[in-house]
């Protein structure tokens, strides 16, 4: 990249990328445990080598290996083993002492390996009376470190060969012993884990190495562990730069918060103390950040070149600005140029520099280098313009939503950053409510608020945050923003996700949703159409609360082309009709039964849906497991996914959703809407 393009040609930021899948609930806190101890052979990495990173990795672990790979022949054990106890009958401590005796006192590697191979299938790692857990950990940590010694590893490989070939790593003595100990709940010494990780990387098993690293509890991690884990994430194929950035933000924190696995979105988070992080300084954090940047540059040449071009251009601009400041010209001349609105050279350089900074943040977002993008923003200081608020807020939203839901510490970290951006730019000279950037800015901060981690002190924290922003728009009479669906959609998501619990709370959330929508119609004088997703969300609120004035919703449905109205809306309208409007009339269960003559045409299509309008795959006759909802409607709009997820997390929680066969046709849908409108008008009139 020769130069950074001006942000005048930048694309507009709209929430058009919300169709991506939501983040996983659990990330590397529980990395790969479902298949971690299986003996399948699918975890081997592709034979790809990243030479620059591999060299960094070798250099980084040299100091660790130097203290681990000392010749085992110089060690001595004072504990002898009892020959009268067969190997497979001994407990874990006895076996460990026997193996260490063979390795250290007798220097008999072959005999020690034979003992281990014979005992692994029968070894019981469960605690017995009088057995010290720390002794087990210490003994087997020594054994594992010895097995990782290159000289001993060569002997083990020679002994393990079958038909001249070394067996797969998962069949090796080292891996089987390591997984046996960890699976039994023992915590090995930190150096033993790092030794296993280094051995696996040497043998090009980078995926297993990453799993072995995370087998060490996070509270035991020190700086060396963080450096190793960062490199391992970058060594994966494809490389896991976001996970590596997550470790950068975790490094140095005295505690981490993770979501409760039982109910991640409802129960308070679990706090994990990090005792080894109390002594970490800002200089240590900076060094780890630079270490990550160096390793990343070695693996991603395109990003490295882009970053170098930007940093070179920024340096030139800073030098030019300093030069113009030192050459302060004639005050009268500067005053005259200001009055004539002529841009001085200093102002021109300053403007170009700000445009380049904004563009670099945008490039960082596209390359998932969120931390680097934030560093660029902080370095800008006061040199911002009208484009900066929307770009930086979008950076916060994209980074936030790609963090696993369980990683509450990181999500809170980026949420706090987003609120700092909101506090700085909302109602400032850089954010105008009439400009096209304002709805995108508010959409992103409201989306973060709607997905904010649950806290103990305020169960309605999401609702409080979202409504504080919306109420500010009402007080300031920002009518254009109050009518924009990009602003209202995340507010509706908040109401849908919080519409649960007590009947009073459900009614309050429903009333608030219709209040917001009615305000939009009053401001726009019914000239602005509402998206199908928003209408569906309002119908969901009405169904959950059992009370709402649906006249305006039904009128909007009739004003739309009925051929385009999704059947998910009609399905929930049919449920509303049957539960709240009529009982036993002709239109009762109208869409869910065949109507003679009406459904005989080819226009009728059979769809499997539930009462909320969620679409099901498969036939009704299939088993229960085949009829699980996929939590989607057939509304083809960008915001449909986020609204559906909000319904899943709130309104539909603990609801019994039974799929039913729906016989849909445009003629039947229009007849049902007209009938419901008449019933609703009659009800409001009486």
Instruction: Report the DSSP beta bridge partners of residue 470.
Output: none
The lowest-confidence range among 184-188, 264-268, 307-311, 369-373 is 264-268
When comparing pLDDT for 572 and 329, which is higher? Answer: 572
| pLDDT tens digits, one per residue of 624-659 | 444 555 678 889 988 899 999 999 888 988 788 888
Quick one: which of 443, 536, 523, 538 has its CA closest to 487? 443
Contacts of 251 (CB under 8 A, 6+ apart): 223, 226, 277, 280, 284, 285, 288
What is the average pLDDT value for the chain, to the nearest integer? 78
- How many C-beta neighbours within 10 Å does residue 191 have? 18
Taking every pair of Cα atoms in the chain, the longest distance, rounded to a whole number of angstroms, is: 103
Helices (H), 476-502: 479-482, 485-498
Q: How many helices (H) and strands (E) does the chain have?
A: 27, 4
When comparing pLDDT for 207 and 5, which is higher? Answer: 207
Quick one: which of 314, 373, 384, 325 has its CA closest to 351? 384
In this predicted structure, the answer to whether residue 88 has a pLDDT above a threshold of 60 is no
Q: Rounded to whole angstroms, how far apart are CA atoms 540 and 610?
A: 12
The lowest-confidence range among 75-79, 151-155, 205-209, 246-250 is 75-79
DSSP element (H, E) containing 227: helix 223-235
Answer yes or no: are the C-beta atoms of 43 and 475 closer than 8 Å.
no
Answer yes or no: are the C-beta atoms of 659 and 609 closer than 8 Å.
yes
What mean pLDDT do residues 154-181 have? 80
The lowest-confidence range among 187-191, 314-318, 421-425 is 314-318
User: Which residues in 331-352 are b (16+ Cβ under 10 Å) and which e?
Assistant: eeeeeeeeeeeeeeebeebbbb
Phi then psi for residue 622, to 5 deg, are -70, 170
Where residue 47 falls among pLDDT bands split at 50, 70, 90?
Answer: very low
In this predicted structure, the answer to whether residue 565 has a pLDDT above a threshold of 60 is yes
User: What pLDDT does residue 209 have?
Assistant: 92
Q: Rounded to whole angstroms, how far apart are CA atoms 95 and 172?
A: 18
Q: Rounded to whole angstroms, how far apart are CA atoms 683 and 677?
A: 10
| pLDDT tens digits, one per residue of 96-115 | 666 665 555 545 566 666 66
Q: Rounded to whole angstroms, how far apart are CA atoms 108 and 545?
A: 76
The lowest-confidence range among 101-115, 181-195, 340-354 is 101-115
User: What pLDDT does residue 341 have?
Assistant: 53
The two tokens of residue 613 are 């309008």
User: What pLDDT does residue 37 have?
Assistant: 36
Distance of CA 55 to the CA centre of its chain: 30
The two tokens of residue 404 are 């696993």
| pLDDT tens digits, one per residue of 574-605 | 999 988 888 778 889 889 888 877 777 677 88
What mean pLDDT do residues 134-138 have? 82
Write down the pTM of the prediction: 0.74
The two tokens of residue 333 are 């001349």
| pLDDT tens digits, one per residue of 477-509 | 999 999 999 999 999 999 999 998 889 999 999
Phi then psi for residue 365, to 5 deg, are -60, -45
User: What pLDDT does residue 74 have?
Assistant: 33
User: What pLDDT does residue 526 have?
Assistant: 61
DSSP element (H, E) containing 192: helix 190-202
HEC profile of 530-570: CCHHHHHHHHHHHHHHCCCCCHHHHHHHHHCCCCCCCHHHH
| pLDDT tens digits, one per residue of 191-208 | 999 999 999 999 889 999
Determine if residue 615 is left, alpha or beta; phi over 0 gives left, psi from -120 to 50 gives alpha, anything else beta.
beta
| pLDDT tens digits, one per residue of 389-416 | 999 999 999 999 999 888 888 999 999 9
Per cent of the chain over pLDDT 90 is 32
What mean pLDDT do residues 373-380 have? 94
Determine if residue 107 is left, alpha or beta; phi over 0 gives left, psi from -120 to 50 gives alpha, anything else beta.
left
Q: Rounded to whole angstroms, how far apart are CA atoms 438 and 331?
A: 37
Contacts of 248 (CB under 8 A, 6+ apart): 230, 285, 288, 289, 292, 371
Cα 175 to Cα 192, 233, 287, 459, 683: the distances in Å are: 12, 21, 33, 46, 72
Q: Rounded to whole angstroms, how far apart are CA atoms 36 and 183?
A: 9
For the purposes of burial, counting CB atoms within 10 Å of the CB of 133, is it exposed (0-12), middle (13-18) or buried (19 or more)?
exposed
Q: The tokens 């390591």 sit on which residue?
A: 178
Where residue 121 falls among pLDDT bands split at 50, 70, 90?
Answer: low
Answer yes or no: are the C-beta atoms of 483 and 506 closer than 8 Å.
no
In this predicted structure, the answer to whether residue 374 has a pLDDT above a threshold of 90 is yes
């Amino acid at each position: 990249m020769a130069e950074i393009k001006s942000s005048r040609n930048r694309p507009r930021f709209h929430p058009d990328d919300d169709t991506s899948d939501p983040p996983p609930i659990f990330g590397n806190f529980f990395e790969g445990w479902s298949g971690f101890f299986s003996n399948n052979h699918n975890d081997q990495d592709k034979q790809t080598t990243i030479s620059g990173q591999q060299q960094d990795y070798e250099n980084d672990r040299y100091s660790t290996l130097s203290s681990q790979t000392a010749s085992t022949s110089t060690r001595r054990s004072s504990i002898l083993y009892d020959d009268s106890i067969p190997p497979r009958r001994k407990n874990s401590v006895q076996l460990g002492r026997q193996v260490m005796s063979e390795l250290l006192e007798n220097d008999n590697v072959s005999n020690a390996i034979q003992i281990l191979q014979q005992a692994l299938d029968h070894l019981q790692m469960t605690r017995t009376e009088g057995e010290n857990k720390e002794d087990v950990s210490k003994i087997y940590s020594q054994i594992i470190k010895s097995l990782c010694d290159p000289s001993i590893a060569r002997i083990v490989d020679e002994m393990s060969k079958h038909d001249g070939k070394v067996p797969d790593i998962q069949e090796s003595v080292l891996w089987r012993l390591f997984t046996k100990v960890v699976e039994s709940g023992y915590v090995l010494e930190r150096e033993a884990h790092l030794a296993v990780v280094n051995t696996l990387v040497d043998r090009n098993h980078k995926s297993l190495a990453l799993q072995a690293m995370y087998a060490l509890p996070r509270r035991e991690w020190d700086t060396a562990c963080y450096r190793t884990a960062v490199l391992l994430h970058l060594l994966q194929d494809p490389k896991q730069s976001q996970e590596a950035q997550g470790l950068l933000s975790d490094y140095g924190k005295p505690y981490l918060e993770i979501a409760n696995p039982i109910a991640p979105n409802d129960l308070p988070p679990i706090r994990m103390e990090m005792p080894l992080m109390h002594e970490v300084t800002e200089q240590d954090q900076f060094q780890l950040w630079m270490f990550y940047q160096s390793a990343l540059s070695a693996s991603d040449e395109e990003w490295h070149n882009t970053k170098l071009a930007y940093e070179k251009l920024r340096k030139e601009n800073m030098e030019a600005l300093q030069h113009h400041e030192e050459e302060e010209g004639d005050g009268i001349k500067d005053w005259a140029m200001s009055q004539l609105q002529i841009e001085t050279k200093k102002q021109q350089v300053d403007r170009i520099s700000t445009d380049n900074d904004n563009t670099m943040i945008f490039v960082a977002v596209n390359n998932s280098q969120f931390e680097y993008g934030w560093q660029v923003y902080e370095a800008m200081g006061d040199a911002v313009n009208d484009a900066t608020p929307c770009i930086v807020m979008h950076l916060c939203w994209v980074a936030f939503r790609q963090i696993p839901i369980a990683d509450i510490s990181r999500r809170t970290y980026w949420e706090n950053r987003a609120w700092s951006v909101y506090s700085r730019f909302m109602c400032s000279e850089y954010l105008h409510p009439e400009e096209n950037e304002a709805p995108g800015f508010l959409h992103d901060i409201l989306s973060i608020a709607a997905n904010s981690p649950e806290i103990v002190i305020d169960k309605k924290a999401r609702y409080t945050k979202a409504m504080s922003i919306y109420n500010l728009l009402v007080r300031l009479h920002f009518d254009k923003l109050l009518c924009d669906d990009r602003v209202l959609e995340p507010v509706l998501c908040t109401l849908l996700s919080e519409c649960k619990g007590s009947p009073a709370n459900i009614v309050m959330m429903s009333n608030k949703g219709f209040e917001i929508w009615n305000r939009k119609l009053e401001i726009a004088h019914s000239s602005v159409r509402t998206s199908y997703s928003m209408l569906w969300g309002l119908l969901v609120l009405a169904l959950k609360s059992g009370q709402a004035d649906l006249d305006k919703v039904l009128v909007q449905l009739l004003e739309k082309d009925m051929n385009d109205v999704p059947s998910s809306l009609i399905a929930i309208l049919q449920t509303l009709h049957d539960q709240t409007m009529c009982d036993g009339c002709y239109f009762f269960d109208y869409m869910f039964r065949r109507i003679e003559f009406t459904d005989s045409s080819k226009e009728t299509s059979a769809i499997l849906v539930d009462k909320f309008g969620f679409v099901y795959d498969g036939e009704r006759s299939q088993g229960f497991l085949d009829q699980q909802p996929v939590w989607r409607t057939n509304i083809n709009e960008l915001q449909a996914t986020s609204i559906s997820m909000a319904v899943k997390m709130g309104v539909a929680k603990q609801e019994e959703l039974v799929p039913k066969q729906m016989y849909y046709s445009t003629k039947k849908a229009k007849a049902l809407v007209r009938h419901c409108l008449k019933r609703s008008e009659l009800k409001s009139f009486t």
